[in-house]
Amino acid sequence: MTTSQQSDDFNQSNEASSTESPTSEETNVTAEAETQAAASSSPEEVSAPEATPVAEPVATEPEEATATEEVTEAPAAKPVATPHPSPAAVKPAEEKPAQAPVAAPPAYSTPLDEAEKFARVTEDGHVFVIVDGQEFPVGQYPDATKEEALAYFVRKHDDVVSQVMLLEQRIVAKAPAGDMNKAAEHLSALVAERLMVGDIAALESRLENVKLAISNLHNEERKNLEERRAKELESREAIVSEAEEIAGKDPSQMMWKNASARMTELFDAWKTAQKSGLRLGKATEDELWKRFRGARTTFDRHRRAYFSQLDADNTAAKEKKESLIARAEALQNSTDWAATATEYRKLMDEWKQSKRASRKDDDALWSRFRAAQDVFFEARQAANKAVEAEFEVNLKVKEALLEEARAILPVKNLNEAKKKLDSVRERWEAAGKVPRKDIQRIEAGLRQVEAEIKGVEDDQWRRSNPEKKARSNSMLSQLEDAIADLEDDLQKAKAQGNEKKIKQAEEALAARRSWLETLTRSAKDLA
CA angle 163, 165, 169 (to 5 degrees): 115
Tell me the Cα Rg of the chain.
62
Q: With a threshold of 0.95, does the pTM exceed it?
A: no
Distance CA 475, CA 478 (A): 5
Residues 241-261 have pLDDT tens digits of: 999 999 999 988 899 999 999
From residue 286, alpha-carbon distances to 280, 283, 291, 350, 383 in Å are 10, 5, 9, 55, 78
CB 273 within 8 A of CB 84: no
CB 160 within 8 A of CB 200: no
The residue type found at 461 is: W
Peptide bond into 83 cis (omega under 30): no
Conformation bin of residue 483: beta by default, left when phi > 0, alpha when psi is -120 to 50: alpha
487: Cβ contacts below 8 Å, ≥ 6 apart: 509
Conformation bin of residue 132: beta by default, left when phi > 0, alpha when psi is -120 to 50: left
Map 234-296 to HEC letters. Answer: HHHHHHHHHHHHHHCCCHHHCCHHHHHHHHHHHHHHHHHHHHHCCCCCHHHHHHHHHHHHHHH
In the chain, CATH 1.20.58 sits at 466-526
CB 32 within 8 A of CB 278: yes
Residues 182-221 have pLDDT tens digits of: 888 999 999 999 999 999 999 999 999 988 998 988 888 8
Distance CA 74, CA 65 (A): 25
Distance CA 172, CA 42 (A): 17
pLDDT by residue for the chain (527 residues), tens digit each? 455 445 445 444 444 343 333 333 333 333 333 333 333 333 333 333 333 333 333 333 333 333 333 333 333 333 333 343 443 344 444 444 455 566 667 778 889 888 888 999 988 889 999 998 899 999 988 888 888 888 999 999 999 999 999 998 888 888 888 788 888 899 999 999 999 999 999 999 999 998 899 898 888 888 888 888 888 888 889 999 999 999 999 988 899 999 999 999 999 999 988 887 778 888 988 999 999 999 999 999 999 999 898 889 889 998 988 999 999 989 889 989 889 999 989 999 989 988 888 888 889 999 998 998 899 899 988 888 888 888 888 999 989 999 998 998 888 888 898 898 899 999 999 988 888 889 999 999 999 999 998 898 888 887 766 555 555 567 777 777 788 887 888 888 888 888 888 888 888 888 878 887 887 777 666 55
CB 362 within 8 A of CB 356: yes
Other beta carbons less than 10 A from residue 392's beta carbon: 12
From residue 243, alpha-carbon distances to 143, 186, 247 in Å are 81, 51, 6
Other beta carbons less than 10 A from residue 329's beta carbon: 16
Other beta carbons less than 10 A from residue 160's beta carbon: 26
CB 472 within 8 A of CB 526: yes
CA angle 24, 25, 31 (to 5 degrees): 120
Distance CA 279, CA 32 (A): 6
Burial class of residue 196 (count of CB atoms within 10 Å of its CB; 0-12, 13-18, 19+):
buried
Distance CA 197, CA 157 (A): 6
Maximum CA pair distance of the chain?
A: 188
CB 156 within 8 A of CB 65: yes
Phi, psi of 92 (to 5 degrees): -70, 160
| Closest among 96, 83, 94, 95 to 266, alpha carbons compared | 83
- Paired strand residues for 99: none
- Paired strand residues for 129: 119, 136
Give the DSSP letter string of 475-495: HHHHHHHHHHHHHHHHHHHHH
CB 472 within 8 A of CB 519: yes
**DSSP letter assigned to residue 498:** -
Distance CA 330, CA 380 (A): 16
Distance CA 197, CA 283 (A): 54
| Closest among 69, 64, 66, 62 to 48, alpha carbons compared | 66
CB 424 within 8 A of CB 453: no
- Paired strand residues for 131: 134
CATH fold of 466-526, please?
Methane Monooxygenase Hydroxylase; Chain G, domain 1 (1.20.58)
**DSSP letter assigned to residue 72:** -
List, in sequence order, the alpha helices (H) in 354-465: 359-406, 414-431, 436-464
- DSSP three-state, residue 73: coil
